[in-house]
Amino acid sequence: MRTILIRLAAVLILAAPAVSPAAPATAATVGAVRAAVDNAIYTWWAQPVAVNDGDHTWIGSIARLGTVRVSRVHPATGAVRTVEMSRTNRPDDHNAPTIAFEAGQPNLVVFYTGHNYDNVMRYRTVDRTTLAVGPERQLTFSGDITYAQVLRTGRRLVLLTRVAISTWRYRVSDDFGTTWGPEQMLVDARGYGQVYVVAKPEPGNANRNLLAFYGHPVNSPYRNVEFARIDLTSGSVERLNGQVLGNLYSTAGPGLRPGQMDPAITPSAGYKVRLLDIGVVGGRPTIAYAVWNGSTGAATYKTKMFLDGAWSTPPWAVPSGDPFGYDPATHYLGGTVIGRADRLYTARQDNSSGTWHVEQWRWSESQRTFVLDRELLRDARLPLVRPYVPARAGQTEVIVQRLVSYTGITSYDADVLVL
């Protein structure tokens, strides 16, 4: 049953919180699903799309018709309350929102964009207790934007977005989103086509953040995955050897060019990669990715880890299975995500049976590789994709999307499962 959204006031185009019970797994889904957010999808490139908050977990999503939403989930009971941010966005999983959270603040700040169709970052507050939604506010950038990613230390927010497909720029707030500084340049990859970054805090230290950069596997000639660290107090952007590349708080920003950061992954000739996640495993910076040969070759999940002062590839390698929907050359795969406590989660299809599996792996320091802990979920009928570990330790370790259908980024029917 799809969540029913009750309008609070038509003039505000916002919905009052709607409550839905835990959705049971489909007959083909086997595993413990603690809660489900109906009619919901998110993207890899919104960070963070989910946040733990005491007994609850906040999850941002976009619905089939383009409604941007935030849900508060109570995993212990399966209860879900959902509010609307906007009904004016187009249906596109790239338009999923990101959530700024600080335990001392009464409100979340929720950011959302279009997909290359205007230069406006929109955002609202959501009261963590009542779920009351504040008025929409807007920030403009110098070109059409896609994605929102937010880093935080204290009340300082660093809001990143992709501008005109080849640059990543940001604005800074020192009062948790009340006022904002000017647009600045983080990565300038003009001439390299469509590029991506992932920026996430190191576990337990919101001041120290990890940054990875790479080019689209089809729409960019840039094949390497690069890596850096960002200190949100000093603003320093550094390679892992401590070499300073620039500063967030300089007038123009670091303006990093491809090739300046650590070359963590350099594929062999003919090979392509899809960056899936970054994090810390065994106290070491780690990258989760998929690699394949040629345009539509079979992909394998791997990791790169900064071991003993250099990037190396542990022996762990797992076939991803076929991509789900969309253009096979882009390799929209089930996905891999780095969890807490040195865990790794994979979503993959067994091509021989067609069954999708979500599995938990753990790092073995003695073996210097990942070993399988357990299967969390499987579905013989529907794809289980894009596992995601919510920011902050709490009630939820991982969420995953279950796709009823997915024929493209603007045509989908999905729900989000809390495991």
Residue 5 within any structural domain of the chain: no
Residue 4 within any structural domain of the chain: no
Residue 173 Cα to chain centre, angstroms = 21
Residue 298 within any structural domain of the chain: yes
pLDDT for 294 equals: 87
Structural domain boundaries enclosing 315: 16-418
pLDDT for 12 equals: 35
Residue 11 within any structural domain of the chain: no
pLDDT for 16 equals: 46
pLDDT for 296 equals: 79
pLDDT for 15 equals: 42
Residue 275 within any structural domain of the chain: yes
pLDDT for 18 equals: 56
Residue 197 within any structural domain of the chain: yes
* Lookup: tokens for 286: 């780690």
> pLDDT for 45-102, tens place per residue?
999 999 999 999 999 999 999 999 999 999 999 999 999 999 877 899 999 999 999 9
Residue 10 within any structural domain of the chain: no
Contacts (Cβ under 8 Å, ≥6 apart) of 386? 42, 43, 44, 334, 335, 347, 400, 401
Euclidean distance between CA atoms 342 and 294, whole angstroms: 32
pLDDT for 26 equals: 54
pLDDT for 3 equals: 40
Euclidean distance between CA atoms 335 and 36, whole angstroms: 19
* Lookup: tokens for 52: 């733990």
CB 46 within 8 A of CB 12: no
Euclidean distance between CA atoms 368 and 387, whole angstroms: 23
Tell me, yes or no, if the pTM score tops 0.85.
yes
Residue 235 within any structural domain of the chain: yes
pLDDT for 30 equals: 84
Q: Is 152 helix (H, G, I), strand (E, B) or coil?
A: strand
CATH number at residue 126: 2.130.10.10
Q: What is the number of structural domains in the chain?
A: 1
pLDDT for 329 equals: 77
Series of mean pLDDT values for 10-residue runs along the chain (419 residues): 36 45 56 96 95 98 96 98 90 96 98 95 98 98 98 97 98 98 98 97 92 96 97 97 97 97 96 96 97 90 95 97 83 96 97 96 97 97 97 97 95 97
pLDDT for 76 equals: 97
Residue (of 294, 335, 323) closest to 408 by Cα position: 323
Q: How large a percentage of the chain has pLDDT more than 70? A: 93
